[in-house]
Amino acid sequence: MPPHQPHTAPRLSPAKRAVILEAAEQLFLRSGYLGTSIDEIAAAARVSKPTVYRHFGSKEDLFIVLVTDITTRAGDGIHDLPAAQTVDELEEVLTGWATQQLKTVLTPRLMQMRRLVTTASSRLRNNMLTRAAAPACCWSRCPAPARHRQAPRTAR
C-alpha cells in the first residue's frame, strides 16, 4: 500500500486562466460589471462555471485580477528612468517619461477599463479597485503613506 499522500489542490491551467480573462475582459467592456455573469464568461471561454470559480473564487475577484493584470501590463516598460547628469538631461528624461506615461494611460483599452472600474466600484465591497485602476508603475514608486493622503501645504 502506498504511503499516505497529503491532499493537494488540483493544478490550475494557465491557458484556461488566460482564456477566462480574455472572455471576461470582452464581456465586462461590452456589458459592464453588473451586466456580465459568470455563466456568460464561462460560455465565452468554453469552460465550465466551476472552472471559473476554481481559478478566481468570485466574479469580483475575477474582475479585480483582470483590472490588475491590464494595468500592470500597461505599466510594464516605464518603470526605470535613466540617470541624468545635468539639468538638461534631467528635463529630457522626465519629458520622455511623462510622454510615455500619457501614452500608456490614454490608450483606448485602458480608458475603457477605467470607466468600467468607476461605474463598478460603488457596487463592489473591495476597494482594491482603486489601486488596481492605477498603473502599477505609479504604485511601485509611491511610498505607502503618500498613497492615501496629500502632502500638507506650506505657507509662503
Arithmetic mean of pLDDT, 20-32: 94
DSSP 62-118: HHHHHHHHHHHHHHTT-S-----SSHHHHHHHHHHHHHHHHHHHTSHHHHHHHHHHH
Backbone angles phi, psi at 57, to 5 degrees: 85, -45
What does the pLDDT average to over 75-96?
78
The C-alpha cell that represents 61 in the structure block: 475577484
CATH 1.10.357.10 fits 14-78+110-134, yes or no: yes
The pLDDT value recorded for residue 76 is 65
All three cell numbers of 85: 547628469
Please write the tens of the pLDDT for every residue from 89-109.
888 888 888 888 787 777 777
In angstroms, the CA 137 to CA 72 distance is: 8
- What percentage of the chain exceeds 70 in pLDDT? 67
The pTM score is 0.62
Per the model's pLDDT, the better-predicted residue between 51 and 135 turns out to be 51
